[in-house]
């Protein structure tokens, strides 16, 4: 069974641009959650989707958005990039509910904002 796939693996953008990151969950998993990881702030929860509906959202500005498609694949978008958005963005999938089930993480997308 293929694991969680995130694309692209690396991304370089400049301030003010926007970026879209993609996540394909494990086949059969319907829940996808996104996290931002930085050396200073650690793993910060961005949002969680289940069956195309956003269930929860972390404390991030409105520039951060996401969506989930009917095949459970998910994308997150960051608009008007700032230097502080440089981070490793991780997505994780689980079968139903991220609360009670273990999360399977992808390898992440390393975003650098110049």
Partner 1 sequence: DAKTTQPNSMESNEEEPVHLPCNHSTISGTDYIHWYRQLPSQGPEYVIHGLTSNVNNRMASLAIAEDRKSSTLILHRATLRDAAVYYCSGRYSSASKIIFGSGTRLSIRP
Q: Which is nearer to partner 1, 48 or 85 (CB)?
A: 48
Selected binder of partner 1 within 42, 53, 62, 70 (CB under 8 A): 42
- 66 lines the binding site for partner 1 (CB under 8 A): no
Q: Which is nearer to partner 1, 16 or 108 (CB)?
A: 108
Mapping DSSP onto H, E and C, the string for 75-111 reads EEEECCCCHHHCEEEEEEEECCCCCCCCCEECCCEEE
Tokens of 72: 């459970």
- 106 lines the binding site for partner 1 (CB under 8 A): yes
- 99 lines the binding site for partner 1 (CB under 8 A): yes
Give the list of residues 6+ apart from residue 42 with CB closer than 8 angstroms, or none.
none
Interface with partner 1 by CB under 8 A: which range of 10-18, 24-32, 61-69, 96-104?
96-104
- 1 lines the binding site for partner 1 (CB under 8 A): no
- 45 lines the binding site for partner 1 (CB under 8 A): yes
The whole-angstrom separation of Cα 114 and Cα 111 is: 10
């Amino acid at each position: 069974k293929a694991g969680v796939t995130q694309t692209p693996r690396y991304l370089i953008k400049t301030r003010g641009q926007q970026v879209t990151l993609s996540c394909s969950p494990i086949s059969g998993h319907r829940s996808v959650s996104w996290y931002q990881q930085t050396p200073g702030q650690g793993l910060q929860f961005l949002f969680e989707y289940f069956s195309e509906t956003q269930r929860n959202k972390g404390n991030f500005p409105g520039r951060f958005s996401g969506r989930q498609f009917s095949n459970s694949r998910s994308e997150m978008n960051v608009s008007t990039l700032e230097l502080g958005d440089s981070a490793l963005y991780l997505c994780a999938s689980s079968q139903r509910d991220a609360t009670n089930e273990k999360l399977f993480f992808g390898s992440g997308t390393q975003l650098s904002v110049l």
